[in-house]
Amino acid sequence: MDTGVVIIGAGPAGSTCANLLKKNGVDCVLVDFQQFPREKVCGGGLTPRAWHLLEEMMPDLDYDYLPVTRQRLFVEGKMRCEIEPAEEQRNVSRKDFDNRLLQRYLQSGGTFLQDSFSRFDEQEEGRILVTMRSGRQIGCRYLVAADGANSRVRKQLLGAYHGNFLFLEQKVEKRDDVLDGEFSARYDHGYYYRFPHKGYDVVGYGAKDASREGFRGLLAELGIAETKICGAYIPVEVVRSDRDNIMLIGDAGGFANRVTYEGLYYALATGRNAAHAIIKGRSFSETNRGLFRRKRREKWMAGLFYSRVGQWLVKAFSRNRHLVKWIYDNVVVT
């Protein structure tokens, strides 16, 4: 089998890239080992920056979401303020949202294979031979890795990755349509959250020392019955491919917000930038330059925010609703 582009991973990053390539007449094959729709550990929040980008790229995409227009900030277990951001956050079920992106690609005539990546081999004239675990082989000009925080493509290309950060969560009974976030010394470089959805809420937390035992203890303290705890790694260290014909996007490239750990915007944006690189015959380093620059700024911001001084400032000014709203509207989601 031969094609122009092989994309490993059919989540938002891979499906966005595939949709844009198909729209521009570029032959590609999208591969994922899972059968869709499938469950995905994620709060499922599309920030204004994310859903605006989605509307720009796919204005005809119809997807279900809960508009969230209020958010509460907690510090050390105490509610400090409630804000109404300038624009809504759209909370989606990742099971449904990811499947909708994939179905859009399929409805346009795109090729999808349910298979698992095994390895790639570079050939003459810049060609790549991709071998699947089934034994199937696909020749291509470009290989795009969108296979998540534990990317196998990235591992073969660059070796071991040490930038993953553990988040754990579970679904609980719905309470209201307000998003909760709590910062505390107990969540080292992380936080606790409660994301409202249609018919249920998602509660979870992340920290440097996050563990299932720690999450169970937290649930017990909050009086929340344990149901099905799920975990996922969030990448925080960006990595770059040293080859123009192999691109690492979304979680595979370490793209998640260093302060909030939100990854859907970066999934959509890097998927777009990889497609632009292929369509325009440019390097991913060039089309993705703005995001690489943004990630460097975020690293500095995260270092400050999660420092002792930064957390002291959060505690000191968290009752100032207008200041919290300004920071959220102008720093967190832009």
- Tens digit of pLDDT for each residue in 158-169? 999 988 989 999
Contact in structure between 317 and 324 (CB atoms under 8 Å): yes
Per-residue pLDDT, 288: 97
**334 — pLDDT class (breaks 50, 70, 90):** low
On average, the pLDDT of the chain sits at 94
- Tens digit of pLDDT for each residue in 50-81? 999 999 999 999 999 999 999 999 999 999 99
Query: How far is residue 191's CA from residue 180's CA, in Å, rounded to a whole number?
Result: 10
**Phi/psi of residue 92, each to 5°?**
-120, 155
Average confidence (pLDDT) over 22-41: 92
Work out whether the CA dihedral 189, 296, 155, 32 comes out positive or negative: positive
- Tens digit of pLDDT for each residue in 160-197? 998 898 999 999 999 999 999 999 999 999 999 999 99
Average confidence (pLDDT) over 201-211: 93
- Beta-bridge partners for 183: 75
Look-up: residue for tokens 């929040």? 45
